[in-house]
């Protein structure tokens, strides 16, 4: 019974697929200017780099040498 129901559901979804092509796509609205969004992205990437450097720096504390 489950297989028959799945088959019928798939057939109905397949026949309805062409109708869904004409539906408008809803995109999310962005807020702020392009520059402010780029600055936010750069800040998040910088925070990620800082976390990784701190994580690996603590593991390899003895192997680090300072360059003068």
What is the rounded average pLDDT of the residues 17-31?
81
Residue pLDDT, tens place only, 47-68: 999 999 998 877 666 555 555 4
Of the pLDDT bands very low, low, confident and very high (cuts 50, 70, 90), residue 43 is very high
d(CA 28, CA 14): 27
pTM comes to: 0.45
- Do 59 and 52 form a contact (C-beta atoms < 8 A)? no
């Amino acid at each position: 019974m489950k297989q028959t129901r799945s088959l019928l559901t798939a057939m109905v979804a397949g026949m309805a697929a062409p109708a869904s092509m004409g539906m408008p796509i809803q995109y999310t609205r962005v807020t702020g200017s392009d520059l402010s969004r780029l600055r936010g992205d750069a800040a998040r990437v910088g925070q990620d780099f800082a976390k990784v450097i701190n994580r690996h720096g603590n593991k390899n504390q003895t192997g680090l040498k300072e360059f003068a």
